[in-house]
Structures are given as C-alpha cells and as structure tokens.
Amino acid sequence: MTPVNPVDDTTVDIAALLERGRTLSTPVLRAAVDRLAPPMDTVAAYHFGWIDAQGRPADGDGGKAVRPALALLSAEAAGASPETGVPGAVAVELVHNFSLLHDDLMDGDEQRRHRDTVWKVHGPAQAILVGDALFALANEVLLELGTVEAGRAARRLTTASRKLIDGQAQDISFEHRERVTVEECLEMEGNKTGALLACAVSIGAVLGGADDRTADTLEAYGHHLGLAFQAVDDLLGIWGDPDATGKQTWSDLRQRKKSLPVVAALAAGGTASERLGELLSADAKSNDFDSFSEEEFATRAALIEEAGGREWTAREARRQHAVAIEALDGVDMPPQVRAQLTALADFVVVRKR
Amino acid sequence: MTPVNPVDDTTVDIAALLERGRTLSTPVLRAAVDRLAPPMDTVAAYHFGWIDAQGRPADGDGGKAVRPALALLSAEAAGASPETGVPGAVAVELVHNFSLLHDDLMDGDEQRRHRDTVWKVHGPAQAILVGDALFALANEVLLELGTVEAGRAARRLTTASRKLIDGQAQDISFEHRERVTVEECLEMEGNKTGALLACAVSIGAVLGGADDRTADTLEAYGHHLGLAFQAVDDLLGIWGDPDATGKQTWSDLRQRKKSLPVVAALAAGGTASERLGELLSADAKSNDFDSFSEEEFATRAALIEEAGGREWTAREARRQHAVAIEALDGVDMPPQVRAQLTALADFVVVRKR
C-alpha cells in the first residue's frame, strides 16, 4: 500500500518504544501468569512464547506488543510516569491473549506467531480454560490495586472486553452469511479490534488520574487506530507474506472471512465484483473447499483486487489513521508523547506483519 | 443419606427464600443478558431456560437458585436491604452460568437441567462465546455501579472466578490420572464449588458496606457450605435419581470423575477397594468404555458403596455442614437472617437434585 505521509515524528524510535512496553510489562505479566494452577501456567507460557511445546525455555515471538506501548504512553499523556500504566498494559495484554486463545479455537486456526496454536498442542479444553484464566487474571491485576482509579480502569476494560466478544460473535455470524455490508464489517472491526486498542490508550491515563473526558478522547484515537490496524490486518490476511505474518497464504480467504477487502469488492459492482460474488456463493456450498489449490485462492484474490477491494481498504486504513491523529488534538499532553502516539499510528499502517 | 438434625430453623420457608432470590434477581439478570449482541442473547436465553431450542418462550428449569438467595441474605447479614445484594446475586449467577457453559463443553456433557446443553444445540463456538460474554457481563454489572463497594465486590468475584477455573483445571487433570488423594479432591472441590458459593455469601454484605473481616467470615460459611453442597452433588452424581437431577444414570461414573465417593473408596483399602481400583484402571485403558452397560456401572457403584465411599462422603457432607453453621457465630447479624442461612445449609445437604 501507499506509505503514509510522515508527520513531525521522524525522530521517534518505534522499535525502542515497543521494546520499552515489553520490558516494563513482561515481568509483571509473567508474575501474573505464574499464579495460574498447573498445567494452565505451562499452557499460558507456551502461548506467550516463553517455552516451547516440550516445556523448554524459548524466546518466541510474543507479538508486536503495540498495546503495552500504548498503555504506557497513555499514562504519560495524563502526566503520570510510564510505570503507572504497567498494570493497565498487563491487563490489556491478558484480555488480548484470552481472546486469541478462544478465537483460534473457534476459528480452527492452527498457526499463530509462527507456532502451532494452543488448542492444536494442548487440546481444546486447555485453550478454553487458559483463556478463561487469563481473562479473570486481567481483572485481578487491576482490582488488586484497590484504588478508585483501578475500579474505573477495570470498568473500561470490561466494557472493551464485551465489545471484543460482540465483535467475535459478529465475525463468526458473517462467515455463515452470503452478504455483509461494508458498514456491518466496520462495526464488527470496531468491536473486535477498535475497542481493546481504545482501552489500551485510555487505561494508563485513567490509572494516572485522568478525567473521563480525557480518557474518552484518548479512546477515540485508539478506536480509529484500531480500525486502521484492522484494515491493514485485512490486507495482510490476503496479500501478506506468510514469512512475515506467521499465517498461511490467503489465510482469510481459506477461512471464508468477510473481511473489508472482500465486502468492499462485493459492494463495488462491475464485472469482477459479480464474478467474485458468484465464486464465493459457490464456495459456500462447495464440499471440496478444503482441498482448493493455491491457484483457486489466487483467482479470488485477483478478483478482489480488480473490483477495487484492495485499494478501498488501503484508503480506509489511511483515512482512519488520519482521524486517529486528529483526535489527539483534543487532549493537552506533552509534545513528546503526542509525537510518539503519532509515530505509533504511522507504524500501524505501514507494518508488514 | 441420613437427614441432618434440624436446628431452630423449622419455621423458615426454603421455597419462599429461593423464590425471593429468583424474583428479585431474574429481571436484572434478563436485562443484563438482553444487552448481548445477537445471536448471543438468544443462546444465553436458551441456556437460562427462558426460551426453547426453537426460540419459543419457555418456563424452563433455571436451576436451584441457591446463590441468588444467599447473596440477598448476605446483604441482610450486613444490615442492608435484600435489594442491595441484587447486583451481587446477578453477577454471581452470571459467573456460575459462564462456568456451566464452558464446563459442559469441556466435559462433553449433553444434558443440563433436563435439556440439551448449549454446545449440543448451538455448537461449541457459541458455548465458548456466550460463556465469555456472561463472564464479562458479571464484572460489568458490578463495576457500572461505580462505587468503592462495587470495586471491592468485583475484586472478590474475580478471585472466586480464578479459583473456580483452577478447580475445573484440577478436575480435568484428575480424569487423566490413575490416583487422586482425598485431600486433592477436597482442594479441587473447594475451588470449583466452594469459592463461588463463598463469594455469593459475602458479595451482598460487601455491597452493603460490610468490612473485610465480616466478609471473610461469611465466606468461611460459604466455603464449607460449598464443600457440603459438592459432597451431596457427588452422591447424586452416582446414586441420584435421573428424573430429579436431570442427568443420566451413573453420570459421574460415565465421565470417569474422580469424585469424593470414588477417591474415598479407593483410599479405604480392603477387598472392595482393591477390586474397584483394578476395574477403574482397566476402564481407563478400555476402548469400549463408551458402550458399557447399566450393569457394568452398577457393579462399580456397588463396589464404591461396599468400600465405604458412599458413607464417607455423606459423613463429610454433614461435617462440612456443621462447620459452615459454626462459622456464622463469627458475624453479628439479625437472628432471622442467621436462621435463614442455617436453613439454607440444611436444605443443601438434604436435597435430591
């Protein structure tokens, strides 16, 4: 996709920003996970990439860690120390990973972060159970702070979690429907991705004593950032490099996902759009969809592109990115923090994984 | 089993007490469930027995509703109105039902409250998703009260939920082990059943402003009540009347559950105990366990009884019941409330379902 226009944030070191989030939050996250009763602690450690399937220490890919970085910046946006945001960063990561564990099982995904998913290695029951445990732990990590701010943070996290679950419910229901509108798809993605990213951007500030208006404005940035993030994810889900994403080729097409490029292409009209619609309708009824060749998926991807679904989605990512950055004007924060939040937004739309 | 000795609570109308809990909490519970995005609202309504599998209004069996009754009495124990306990009652019911949805799926249980379980009717993904949603809703119902007391209540509920999940993890791991000690089994049951019942008995008081010492003492009553409750459940799981319990005959034996009567019988020593141990070891390796006849389960049940597992468990239920009632002495509460808590404890150990 067309790279976004860099703003005045050329000096921000994104790798260092993500690394700071990881460095400050991972020890607290590991300590929380260590509280789980066996064998859930081991299963969770495998999921996070801290050990391999045989239980040996590993230095696996724990994900991009965008959310922890955002939670620490969130605290700084409210004038608090980055450390103030750590319990929020950990709680959001726990909710994010709870949803990954359950979603991978529900969606039948066999690979995540270049490794077999938990249900594949440890079985469905452990995937359910450990997901539940991480979800409970998220609230525990916040509520045991025992402060009024922690109660407010937990409330926001709970609301975000509910939206996340609503989004997954919508996503699953879309797979069984022939047609989904672009609006429905955006609503689903706002729930499934926007809500928790929004929470990551407000939770540190709330823990740092920010008022509801400030928190809401930060959430607006996070919500649009989430929509930009998901639009890019939808592009990577079809055209991403499997070596970079850790997923199969044509991953979202294999799962019949009604992602943005697909719904936009179907809504576009014209020859390619109609041909795509016919193919996908036939696919939904096909008994040998699972044995489709690479070429068959490539044909569908080419039709999506020809109908304009790829370009529409790339434009949508840029549009949401711009709205997110604009929202930052509503909060009075240190210029350095604003530059870092802007740079993170830029990173989200240009990433390859 | 031998009926417990009625205390000075002969005048307490248990049916009315349970009915009050249902009447006050069900409208709030239904309003909370109505917030779920479709189709989760429908799936949840089916689970609670408010509609049938075809979506028609139903007046299904929503369970015994011991927990809501306890939560309202809990508020009264702290000198507050029963209504003060309602959000706590609803939150505890939501957590309880979240765990039922996930446990039924993990355990492969096909029947619950005389009806097909959610995963059987709506599929595994809906069982996972709606369970998650109810769990999130539980915290939301409390935290949206926005009070310090609600934050404390949510913290206790979160701790109880974590123990509940620990207990389910232990329960599952026991099914794959040849031997489980009586102590391990009691620890598992304390987590799986005791923790949430304990929370039901403290949450209303916490919402009513009780201090931590009062809440902890009420939890001690609830914890032991939970162990008594589970011991009775373990008896019903083998010798219960399917018409009353809504479960299959020999339900726990069919699932190879290492429940109290089984572990106590295996620990007892003697001819019947050894013969039982040999049979269960062979069962664990058997390929045609699923096609066992009624007689084969009856043989195992008879050996458990002969080895003393049934009598030991009945005695354990009475012992925990006595400890629970004793714990009530630690809290200064209206005599009527004490009589009702005592009567509920009596009910729990003499019930047939």
Distance CA A212, CA A203 (A): 11
Distance CA B154, CA A155 (A): 10
Distance CA B186, CA B169 (A): 14
Q: Determine the average pLDDT of the residues in B90-107.
A: 97
Q: Is A7 among the domain residues?
A: no
What pLDDT does residue A248 have?
Answer: 80
Collapse the DSSP code of B111 into the 3-class scheme (helix H, G, I; strand E, B; otherwise coil) and give the result.
Answer: strand
Interface of A with B in 139-158 (CB under 8 A): 139-140, 143-144, 146, 148, 150-151, 154-155, 158
Q: Determine the average pLDDT of the residues in B176-204.
A: 96
Classify residue B63 by its DSSP letter: -
User: How close B140 comes to chain A (CA, Å)?
Assistant: 6
A195: domain CATH number?
A: 1.10.600.10
Measured over the CA atoms of residue A148, residue A153, residue A154 and residue A159, the dihedral's sign is positive
User: How close A347 comes to chain B (CA, Å)?
Assistant: 31
What pLDDT does residue A75 have?
Answer: 98
What pLDDT does residue B353 have?
Answer: 81
User: How close A303 comes to chain B (CA, Å)?
Assistant: 31
Distance CA B207, CA B216 (A): 14
**Position B37 pLDDT exceeds 60:** yes
Q: Which long-range contacts (CB under 8 A, 24 or more apart) does B181-187 make?
A: B181/B263, B181/B267, B182/B260, B182/B263, B182/B264, B182/B267, B184/B263, B185/B258, B185/B259, B185/B260, B185/B263, B186/B227, B186/B260
User: How close A133 comes to chain B (CA, Å)?
Assistant: 6
**Position B89 pLDDT exceeds 80:** yes
- Using CB atoms, which residue from B146, B158, B173 is nearest to A143? B158
Residue range B314-323, pLDDT digits in tens = 999 999 999 9
What pLDDT does residue B6 have?
Answer: 42
Q: Is A262 among the domain residues?
A: yes
B150 contact residues in A (CB cutoff 8 A): 151
The β-bridge partners of B112 are: B115
What pLDDT does residue B3 have?
Answer: 44
Establish if B173 touches chain A: CB-CB under 8 angstroms.
yes
Q: Is B119 among the domain residues?
A: yes
Nearest CA in chain B to A95: B136
DSSP H helices in B48-123: 66-77, 86-107, 118-122
Residue range B109-168, pLDDT digits in tens = 888 888 999 999 999 999 999 999 999 999 999 999 999 999 999 999 999 999 999 999
Distance CA A32, CA A29 (A): 5
The β-bridge partners of A115 are: A112
What pLDDT does residue A272 have?
Answer: 97
Q: Determine the average pLDDT of the residues in B95-113.
A: 93
What pLDDT does residue B10 have?
Answer: 57
Establish if A244 touches chain B: CB-CB under 8 angstroms.
no
Is-contact B85 B37, C-beta < 8 A? no
Q: What total number of domains does chain B contain?
A: 1
Higher per-residue pLDDT: B35 or B245: B35
Q: Is B261 among the domain residues?
A: yes
What pLDDT does residue A176 have?
Answer: 81
What pLDDT does residue A245 have?
Answer: 82
What pLDDT does residue B109 have?
Answer: 87
Distance CA A186, CA B185 (A): 48
Query: What residues contact B297, with CB distance under 8 A and at least 6 apart?
Result: B249, B250, B253, B254
Q: Is A350 among the domain residues?
A: no
Cis peptide before A39 (omega within 30 of 0): yes
On average, the pLDDT of chain B sits at: 93
Which residues form the domain of A159? 14-345
- pLDDT category at B2 given cuts 50, 70, 90 is very low
Is-contact B291 B205, C-beta < 8 A? no
Is-contact A256 A175, C-beta < 8 A? yes
Strand B115-116 vs strand B111-112: parallel, antiparallel, or unpaired? antiparallel
Is-contact A77 A218, C-beta < 8 A? yes
What pLDDT does residue A10 have?
Answer: 57
What pLDDT does residue B168 have?
Answer: 95
DSSP H helices in A35-123: 40-48, 66-77, 86-107, 118-122
Q: Which of A36, A41, A99, A143 to mutate to test the interface with B (most CBs of B within 10 A)?
A: A143
Distance CA B269, CA B285 (A): 22
How big is the A-B interface in CB pairs under 8 Å? Answer: 118
Contact B132 A39 (CB under 8 A): no
The β-bridge partners of A111 are: A116
Interface of A with B in 188-227 (CB under 8 A): none
Q: Is B342 among the domain residues?
A: yes
Is-contact A283 A289, C-beta < 8 A? yes
Distance CA A196, CA A179 (A): 27
Distance CA B156, CA B36 (A): 24
B129 contact residues in A (CB cutoff 8 A): 102, 106, 165, 168-169, 172
- pLDDT category at B287 given cuts 50, 70, 90 is confident
**Position B4 pLDDT exceeds 50:** no
What pLDDT does residue A255 have?
Answer: 85
Residue ranges of chain A with per-residue pLDDT less than 50: 1-9
Q: Which residue shows structure tokens 């009598």?
A: B311
Q: Is B1 among the domain residues?
A: no
Distance CA B88, CA B86 (A): 5
DSSP H helices in A240-308: 242-245, 251-254, 260-268, 271-285, 294-306
Residue B339: HSE in the Cβ half-sphere, 13 Å Cα cutoff: 10
What pLDDT does residue A6 have?
Answer: 42
User: How close B98 comes to chain A (CA, Å)?
Assistant: 10
Establish if B27 touches chain A: CB-CB under 8 angstroms.
no
Q: Is A4 among the domain residues?
A: no
B137 contact residues in A (CB cutoff 8 A): 162
Collapse the DSSP code of A319 into the 3-class scheme (helix H, G, I; strand E, B; otherwise coil) and give the result.
Answer: helix
CA end-to-end span of chain A = 13
What pLDDT does residue A175 have?
Answer: 82
- pLDDT category at B244 given cuts 50, 70, 90 is confident
What pLDDT does residue B121 have?
Answer: 96
